[in-house]
Amino acid sequence: MTEESVLRIPAKLEGMDLILSFVSFLLDSHGCSPQARTQLRMAVEELYVNVTLYAYPSGDGWAEIRGSVEDGTATFKLIDGGTPFNPLEKDDPDIMLSGEERGIGGLGIFMVKTMVDEVAYEYRDNCNQLTLSKQL
């Protein structure tokens, strides 16, 4: 069984350095390639920013990240107790359209889906739980 690392912090943009350090430390301790490390950091950053900006309309909330590496696959789960929202329900944007034609929203989660092998969402225990997996 793989040990899971956990970090829980206030859902504020100021916490970004802690989140990215958490991701980097876990990946570096498992010999992750620079490309996979960059992709996972960017994916986690995008998801964490979304939590800080949109999950808590009152502005006060928390975010938790859980991470593990097992059999060469890194898995990160971002959890928040904010407004229920499944970003995977939205259709992928047509990236061939101009920004004006495409409209606002959807590019971030599309980017995340292209950088990792698997993305899954569930709403459980009154929490949004978004899981990313990537083969290292």
Residue 96 confidence (pLDDT): 52
Backbone angles phi, psi at 80, to 5 degrees: -145, 160
Record the pTM.
0.88
Tell me how far CA of residue 89 lies from CA of 21, 32, 52, in angstroms: 30, 30, 20
**What structural domains and CATH numbers belong to the chain?**
5-135 (3.30.565.10)
d(CA 106, CA 86): 12
Supply the pLDDT for residue 50. Answer: 93
- Please give the backbone phi and psi of residue 71, each rounded to the nearest 5 degrees, phi first: 50, 40
Percent pLDDT > 90 in the chain is: 76
3-state secondary structure 47-99: HHHHHHHHHCCCCCCEEEEEEEEECCEEEEEEEECCCCCCHHHCCCCCCCCCH
CB 116 within 8 A of CB 132: yes
> Which amino acid appears at position 54 of this protein?
Y
The per-residue pLDDT for range 111-135, each reduced to its tens digit, is 889 899 999 999 999 999 999 999 9
- In tens, the pLDDT along 71-108 reads 999 999 999 999 999 998 876 555 555 555 555 555 66
